[in-house]
Each structure stands twice: as C-alpha cells, then as structure tokens.
Amino acid sequence: LLFIALKKQEALELEFEDFILATPKQAARMIWARYTLNEHFLSLHEAVHTLYSQVAPPLQRRKKPIPHITLARLKDDAPKEEKGFRLNDRCGNIEVEKLILWKSSFTPEGTVCEALEEYPLK
C-alpha cells in the first residue's frame, strides 16, 4: 500500500533549521538536526498517515510533524544547564529521494534500528 501511495509523491528538499535537544515538551533524550517544515513534507506526512489509518488503529498525531534526523540518543536526560546548547557547525539542506520504513528495538546495549522497506519518490 505504501508503494502505491508514494508513487505520486515527488522528491523534496528540506532546509536545515537548527540543532536541538529533543523531544519538545519532554525530557531531552536525543539530539536532532531539525529541518524547516514545508508543504511537500506535510503532503508526504499526510499521505502516509491517511494510508496507515485505513489498515491500523489511529496513531497519536502531532498537530505539525517535525522534520528531523536523530543524531544521538542520550542514556540520561540532558542536564538543565545544557538545554541552551549551540553547535557552531550547520548541516546542509538535504534532498529526500526515498522514504525508508524503520523498525527500532530498544535493548540493554542501546537502540537497534533495522530498515524494513525503501520507497523511492519520483
């Protein structure tokens, strides 16, 4: 079903915004490279959620998705004095040419991520 839904989706570019401690409104446990939300990303997000809702129970949805790349996971919450951290480097913009469905498993040794499927965007 994802192959069918994503056949019409075009590749898109995401513009780098900032490095942040994540997740928003929760204890910071990750470092993200955050990208600016745009129409193309929102369209891709809606297509996936619409399709998923046809075959599974509804997911908890954010009002606005957050385009990001998880750069690191922290074992403990980030100390409060680190919340205003800044990295001097910037990431470049990225071209999104495919969607990868990932499975994350949490183990005592850390998170293990496995790519299940790849879906090319036109």
Non-local (6+) Cβ contacts of 102 within 8 A are 113, 114, 115, 116
Per-residue model confidence as pLDDT tens digits over 18-61: 888 887 677 777 888 999 999 999 988 888 888 878 887 766 66
Mean pLDDT (the chain, rounded): 82
**Residues 3-13: pLDDT tens digits?**
877 888 889 99
10 touches 43 (CB < 8 A): no
Give the pLDDT score at 17: 92
How much is the pLDDT for 105? Answer: 92
The model carries a pTM of: 0.75
Name the percent of the chain lying above pLDDT 90.
Answer: 27
DSSP 3-state assignment of 112? strand
Closest CA to 55 of 116, 119, 1: 1
Half-sphere exposure of 62 (CA within 13 A, CB side): 10
Mean pLDDT over 87-96 rounds to: 80
94: which 2 tokens?
Answer: 């990225």
